[in-house]
Amino acid sequence: MHPSPAIVPGRSCGTCTLCCRLPDIDLFDKPANAWCRHCIEGKGCSIYADRPSVCRDFLCLWMTEEALGEAWEPSRSHMMVYRQGPQITVLVDPDHPDIWRREPYHAQLRAWADEAEPNGGYVIVFWQDDVFKI
């Protein structure tokens, strides 16, 4: 198991709860784009101190990549971005379907895809039931 990357100094989840809504979480039988039953919107996890490792170990790319500016903060970008080996996954808030096609986001997603391609990697964007490979 790989150690978790370090959090960029000064960054925190704040009131962002996109990771409680956008991904499917099998442990909680929670489908994608539905609120986790433990999430208090705008506040966070009601079981934070006892949250399972699937939640405890997760950090989005904005929390770990210093090069990502404030525009990438999930509560501003309306996207949750994370890395899985050579793949970068982007989960888009259902209320903001085209945000990933706008700048500065689209150019960065293309750059990541171009960088990952020689190693078999790619960028994949999920919005509701739609999937886009960049």
Inform me whether the pLDDT recorded for 21 exceeds 70: yes
What pLDDT score does 15 carry? 84
What is the mean pLDDT of the segment spanning 72-81?
96
Q: How many CA atoms lie within 13 A of 52 on its CB side?
A: 8
Categorize the per-residue pLDDT at 50 as very low, low, confident or very high, splitting at 50, 70 and 90: very high
pLDDT, the chain, mean:
92
Q: Using CA atoms, how far apart are residues 39 and 47, in angstroms rounded to an integer? A: 8
To 5 degrees, how large is the angle CA 105–CA 7–CA 5? Answer: 90
Three-state SS at 109:
helix
Q: Mean per-residue pLDDT for 9-28? A: 91
Q: How confident is the model at residue 58 (pLDDT cuts 50, 70, 90)?
A: very high
Q: Specify the pLDDT at position 43.
A: 82
Tokens 């770990």 belong to 64
Parse the chain into domains and list their residue ranges: 15-58, 60-134
* Higher-confidence position of 10 and 1: 10
Pairing status of strand 122-127 against strand 87-92: parallel
